[in-house]
C-alpha cells in the first residue's frame, strides 16, 4: 500500500544552525525558511536525489514541535512520511486492522497542499507516520 518515502521530518532547536549544517557540512540544497502557521511550524526543505528532509522549527505557542523539543532539546526525528495513492482507502485499511489514526481519521491538508493523515506512534514501532496522498 505505501509507496515512496516522501520525506523525513527532523525537529530542530535552531533552524539557522541546522540549515547551515545541511548546506555547508553535508553539501545539500537547502530552501529558505517557510512559515506554515496552520501547522505551527517553520520549515526548511532539504532536497535530496531520492527524497526530502524537512527541518521543523516551532511557530507559535501551540506548536506540536515545541512540545517535542521540550522532551528532545537537541532535536530529533519527528516523523516519516510515506506516499499512498488513496488516503481514504489507506485509512480504512489501517482502521480495520486496529491502527489508531490521529485527529479522528479525517485527512487534513498537509505542508505540501495534499491530503495527509498521521498514525499513532505506539502502533508503528515508536515512529510517528504521516501518510500523504501523492
User: Which of 9, 41, 55, 128 touches Co ion by CB under 5 A?
Assistant: 9
For Co ion, how many residues bind (rule: CB under 5 A)? Answer: 3
Question: Does 130 help bind Co ion (rule: CB under 5 A)?
Answer: yes
CB of 128 to Co ion, least distance (A): 9
- The region of 6-14, 24-32, 33-41, 58-66 touching Co ion under the rule CB under 5 A is 6-14
Grid cell, residue 106, equals: 479525517
9 C-beta neighbours (distance < 10 Å), count: 21
**Distance separating alpha carbons of residues 21 and 30, to the nearest angstrom:** 10
Residues between 23 and 82 with contacts to Co ion, criterion CB under 5 A: 81
Nearer to Co ion, 94 or 129 (CB): 129
- The region of 3-11, 15-23, 31-39, 89-97 touching Co ion under the rule CB under 5 A is 3-11
Name the β-bridge partners of 47: 29, 52
The helix/strand/coil state of 58 is strand
Name the E strands within 62-128: 76-84, 108-109, 115-119
Question: Does 18 help bind Co ion (rule: CB under 5 A)?
Answer: no
**Distance separating alpha carbons of residues 67 and 32, to the nearest angstrom:** 24
Binding stretches for Co ion (CB under 5 A) = 9, 81, 130
Amino acid at each position: 500500500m505505501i509507496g515512496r518515502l516522501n520525506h523525513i521530518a527532523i525537529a530542530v532547536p535552531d533552524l539557522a544552525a541546522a540549515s547551515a549544517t545541511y548546506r555547508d557540512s553535508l553539501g545539500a540544497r537547502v530552501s529558505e525558511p517557510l512559515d506554515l502557521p496552520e501547522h505551527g511550524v517553520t520549515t526548511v526543505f532539504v532536497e535530496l536525489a531520492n527524497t526530502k528532509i524537512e527541518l521543523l522549527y516551532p511557530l507559535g505557542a501551540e506548536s506540536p514541535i515545541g512540545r517535542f523539543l521540550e522532551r528532545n532539546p537537541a532535536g530529533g526525528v519527528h516523523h516519516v512520511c510515506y506516499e499512498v495513492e488513496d488516503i481514504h482507502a489507506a485509512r480504512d485499511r489501517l482502521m480495520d486492522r486496529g491502527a489508531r489514526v490521529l485527529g479522528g481519521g479525517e485527512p487534513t491538508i498537509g505542508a505540501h497542499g495534499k491530503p495527509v493523515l498521521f498514525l499513532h506512534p505506539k502502533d508503528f514501532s515508536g515512529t510517528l507516520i504521516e501518510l500523504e496522498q501523492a
